[in-house]
Structure 1
Amino acid sequence: MFFSIIIPLYNRPQEIDELLTTLTRQTYTQFEVLVIEDGSVNDAKAIVDKYANSLDVKYFFKPNEGQGFSRNYGFERAKGDFFVIFDSDCLIPEDYLEIVKDYLFEHKLDAYGGPDAAHQSFTPVQKAISYAMTSPFTTGGIRGNKKHIGQFHPRSFNMGVSREVWEKVGGFILTRLGEDIEYSIRIHEHGFKIGLIPAARVFHKRRTSFSQFYKQLHFFGRARINIYKHFPSELKLVHFFPAAFTCAVIFTVLINIFYWPLAFICNFVMLIYFMLIFFHSWQVNKSLKVAFLSIIAAFIQLTAYGLGFMQDFIKRVVFKQQ
């Protein structure tokens, strides 16, 4: 099996340098790499060129269109049997392709997704963000879990599709705002087999600060409504949890100001919830600092997603705005 690894890139030369370094260590070497520079001002051509002798790597520069259409640009030029998509802020374990190749031969998947985790080199903030996005105490726990809710939808930070899928389904029709979920739904509808490869994990940096993390999760909340507009049945009860949590936070603040006798109950419930996050993160990360930061990360994840979700739900569902 020959893999084509496709990486959209926008103004992140340092990230692609680190990612390509990890790809030079792959134990399975039947692959090419296509770096698609999506109209960056700070391009990474010189960095990519450094790997010409250690990787089968190709660099392309195109006008800015967003990550979905940049992946399509890579699909059109790839020669592999299977197309593997990574975000530029990922580090790839050296046995990743070996694991994927063996799993695909055994289970005959047409498309797959894999989980993400925090690398030991990540900062405490990055580890806390990674925890929030994968924890069973936040909605992140459904992203790379064997017991996912409903159909499994691979996420584009760690996703693969066969050449046959590309030829019959096509590529992304959205360039952002839930483009990976929309794509995987169409793959399902064409009768292809999609599955999670639990051991095919990547180390996903995500965002390096809480302010960047807030912007990203607010965007994710809006993206869920975008998916709903295309596929109404894909809006599940669990997707309302961040919005419900956000409303509960607002209610708790108001009740503390205007009716403090009831505030004790609300404050106690919030305290128990965040203590569960703290101790679970402490157990997972073996760090008190990361455990404390995980409370902040989880709070940001839920409220940012919830506000983005409610914003577009009101605009696009209640008031029917485009």
Structure 2
Amino acid sequence: MFFSLIVPTLGRVGELRALLDSLTRQSLTTFEVIIVDQNGDDRLVPVVNDFTDRLNITHLRSTVRQCNHARNLGAKRAVGDIVTFPDDDCVYTDTVLQTVNELFASFDKPDFITGSVITLEGLRGKSGRWHPVETPINSHNVWTCLIEFNFFIRRTAFTATGGFDEGVGPGTTFGSAEGQDLALRLLEKGFRGLYVPSLHIMHPDKPVTLTTARAYSYGLGMGHVMRKNHVGVATVGTFLLRSVMGGLVYLLKGDIPRARYYFLTFLGRIRGYLSLRAGAVTPAPATG
């Protein structure tokens, strides 16, 4: 199979170089890289030029600084059988594409495949709770089986669903869960997904100060996507309870930054779920 790797990027140079360098070591070489450059200058030109003799790269420019817009823009230029959307600060292990190729060619022939995350040091990351075993994806487990930069989709299925919702994700009020939104729409159309926990992509852990700053927006995204896709009450309740309990646990431990993160996440999920449009969502409260 031929893969199209679509990389939205803004403000990162060294990280993008590291990603491209990792792609030169892939055991499967039938892929293209589509860089969607949202910078207002030429900072990436030297990086792209350094890899044009080793990678099949298309360098697109976008004046719109919004991640899902960039993903959809890149997908329109893609020619691969499979589309995927690595972050610009990811690093691919050497056999990622070969593994995914074999999974798509397997007996079950899924329409989309997801995996989990390890840190750049090769350790288990802190980015969410991951489902422990390989499983078909459904509307309940999609929240612990998917992250956007480790999401591989048959291009025909991606096109059939209309791509990413540009009203969700980084650069919007609803700052997360755009991958889950797309997966839920794929499932609604009858496409089948497979989660493989051993399928790892490397990504840096974010410091708690950064994740706390984003907690409310990320919570809004998850709540909104749950409501939009009519996710079951039991699933909604599970993730509301998790955020409350996480806040209480860290409050009792005296870890105020992490407690604040969980409480802001809870508040965002509630308000995102109750709002059917971005304009109805109130700003994030001051965190002190």
| Cα distance, 1:212–1:318 mapped onto 2, change above 3 Å | closer
Correspondence for 1:154 among 146, 149, 153: 146
SS at match of 2:202: strand
Deviation at 1:41, TM superposition (A): 5.4
Provide the rounded CA distance (Å) in 2 between the counterparts of 1:163 and 1:37: 22
Provide the rounded CA distance (Å) in 2 between the counterparts of 1:315 and 1:22: 37
| Cα distance, 1:316–1:85 mapped onto 2, change above 3 Å | closer
- Asked if residue 223 in structure 1 is aligned to residue 234 in structure 2, the reply is no
Provide the rounded CA distance (Å) in 2 between the counterparts of 1:180 and 1:203: 18
Number of positions where the alignment pairs a residue of Structure 1 with one of Structure 2: 264
Provide the rounded CA distance (Å) in 2 between the counterparts of 1:190 and 1:310: 31
1:115, 1:144 within 8 Å by CA — same for their partners in 2?
no
Aligned residue runs from structure 1 range 55-134, under 5 A: 55-106=55-106, 107-120=108-121, 131-133=125-127
1:38, 1:65 within 8 Å by CA — same for their partners in 2?
yes
SS at match of 2:197: coil
2:5, 2:86 within 8 Å by CA — same for their partners in 1?
yes
Provide the rounded CA distance (Å) in 1 between the counterparts of 2:118 and 2:104: 22
Given the two structures, how large is their TM-score scaled by the length of structure 1? 0.73
The match for 1:186 is 185
Greater C-alpha Rg: 1
Deviation at 1:79, TM superposition (A): 0.6
Provide the rounded CA distance (Å) in 2 between the counterparts of 1:97 and 1:3: 8
Provide the rounded CA distance (Å) in 1 between the counterparts of 2:262 and 2:224: 13
The match for 2:162 is 170
1:219, 1:305 within 8 Å by CA — same for their partners in 2?
no
The match for 2:284 is none
Aligned residue runs from structure 1 range 1-322, under 5 A: 1-40=1-40, 43-106=43-106, 107-120=108-121, 131-133=125-127, 140-142=128-130, 145-146=133-134, 150-152=140-142, 154-174=146-166, 175-176=168-169, 177=175, 178-207=177-206, 209-233=207-231, 235-240=235-240, 241-247=242-248, 252=252, 270=253, 300=257, 303-311=260-268, 313-314=270-271, 317=274, 321-322=280-281
| Cα distance, 1:206–1:89 mapped onto 2, change above 3 Å | farther
2:215, 2:268 within 8 Å by CA — same for their partners in 1?
no
1:144, 1:196 within 8 Å by CA — same for their partners in 2?
no
| Cα distance, 1:69–1:38 mapped onto 2, change above 3 Å | same
> Which amino acid is 1:92 matched to?
Y
SS at match of 2:33: strand
Provide the rounded CA distance (Å) in 1 between the counterparts of 2:60 and 2:259: 37
| Cα distance, 1:7–1:301 mapped onto 2, change above 3 Å | farther
1:182, 1:227 within 8 Å by CA — same for their partners in 2?
yes
Percentage of pairs with the same residue: 20
Deviation at 1:319, TM superposition (A): 12
> Which amino acid is 2:29 matched to?
T
| Cα distance, 1:110–1:302 mapped onto 2, change above 3 Å | farther
Moved more, 183-192 or 235-244: 235-244
> Which amino acid is 1:160 matched to?
F
Provide the rounded CA distance (Å) in 2 between the counterparts of 1:315 and 1:55: 41
The match for 1:288 is none
Deviation at 1:171, TM superposition (A): 0.5
| Cα distance, 1:228–1:301 mapped onto 2, change above 3 Å | farther
SS at match of 2:105: helix
Residues 3-27 of structure 1 show CA distances to partners (whole Å, capped at 9, x for unaligned) of: 0111110111111000000000001
SS at match of 1:98: helix
Given the two structures, how large is their TM-score scaled by the length of structure 2? 0.81
| Cα distance, 1:38–1:224 mapped onto 2, change above 3 Å | same
SS at match of 1:306: helix
| Cα distance, 1:114–1:319 mapped onto 2, change above 3 Å | closer
SS at match of 2:245: helix
2:247, 2:258 within 8 Å by CA — same for their partners in 1?
no
Provide the rounded CA distance (Å) in 1 between the counterparts of 2:17 and 2:132: 26
Provide the rounded CA distance (Å) in 1 between the counterparts of 2:84 and 2:237: 31
